[in-house]
Amino acid sequence: MKVSNSGGRARALVVVSIALGVSACTVPKALQTPIERSTYREILERQAEGVGIEDETLKELPPMTAADYERLGDTYLMQNKLGLANVKYVKALELDPTAWRVQYKLGVLLLKQNVPQQALLNFNAIVAVDSMNARGHEGRGRALLAMGQHEEAEKALRTALDLDSGLWKAHETMGVLCDALGRFPEAIDSYHMALKIQPNEPSVLNNLGVAYYLSKDYGRAIPTFERALTVTPAAERARVYNNLGRAYAKKGSYPRAYEAFRKGSDTATAYNNLGMIYLEDGRTKQAASCFQKAIHASPTYYAEATENLRSAQAGLFDPEDGPMRVAAACP
């Protein structure tokens, strides 16, 4: 239900435009006119992989630098090609081990790849060189949280925020940590601090909605999830719709809950999710009705709904009268 911060949802890094970076006297004539970025990137890639370049005028390109590899890594990260981005960042660090920003980017990438132990090594390397590097401490906090080391994660995040209170990601991660520990008021405060810095960040808005939901403040959770939907990319809205559906259901607005679930998935999943809410609330008749509708919508795919229906029907059984009739109460 929450945005993972191990991965979570790290913001994509801005791609720095590629420049040739050599003097005009050393640039072949063919390169003195602008080259499409994609073409230049392809040339750089071919150079990096040791692939021959047929055009004689392009063979004089300078060797790849650490900055070139970093830019390629940024490009691949933007495209969500994590493996390729990893390779380029590692190469950049081989050429320039002092580039802490590359070290940080690689750590964030490793969090996205769900290997926080490896990410922690990168962030530790940053603070080992500069103990006042706030980003390094923020990264340590994120990795430690993903590893379940809550106490150490909190220490790292507090250090990061003491050094730089403007790190919205550190505030958000502190909120996720407080949620995990049941400290919901603190979580809400942390998310609000993050939003003061990054007002329209989808992950922060979703997580704030979750904190309200966990606090049983559904009246605030609903508009927060609705606001999150306005800034969340279409391909990533399913989780937010699911959270919105749960909030509507807990508030008693079951038809709206169903609509939210359906927008985030399909008819069968929507009925199954609503049925689970009914079951959690002890409304077994309505739950069974929803599970039946889920099975009808997708009888071969939705084995899960069948199992949930059995659970609901078991709760409906009366030893004297036999199974009770299921009321068609689901929207």
- Per-residue pLDDT tens digits for 99-149: 999 999 999 999 999 999 999 999 999 999 999 999 999 999 999 999 999
In angstroms, rounded to a whole number, what is the distance separating the alpha carbons of residues 291 and 276? 8
Mean pLDDT for all residues in the chain: 81
Provide the token pair at 93.
């660090």
Residues ≥6 apart with Cβ < 8 Å to 32: 24
The predicted pLDDT at position 301 comes to: 53
8 A C-beta contact, residue 110 and residue 119? yes
The predicted pLDDT at position 133 comes to: 98
The predicted pLDDT at position 300 comes to: 62
In angstroms, rounded to a whole number, what is the distance separating the alpha carbons of residues 321 and 190? 54
Spans of the chain, pLDDT less than 50: 1-37, 39, 53, 317-330
End-to-end CA distance of the chain: 23
The predicted pLDDT at position 331 comes to: 56
**pTM for this prediction:** 0.75
Distances (CA, A) of 32 to 1, 19, 246: 53, 12, 59
The predicted pLDDT at position 26 comes to: 33
Q: All domains of the chain, ordered by start, with CATH?
A: 182-265 (1.25.40.10), 275-331 (no CATH)
The predicted pLDDT at position 255 comes to: 94
CB atoms within 10 A of CB 300: 6
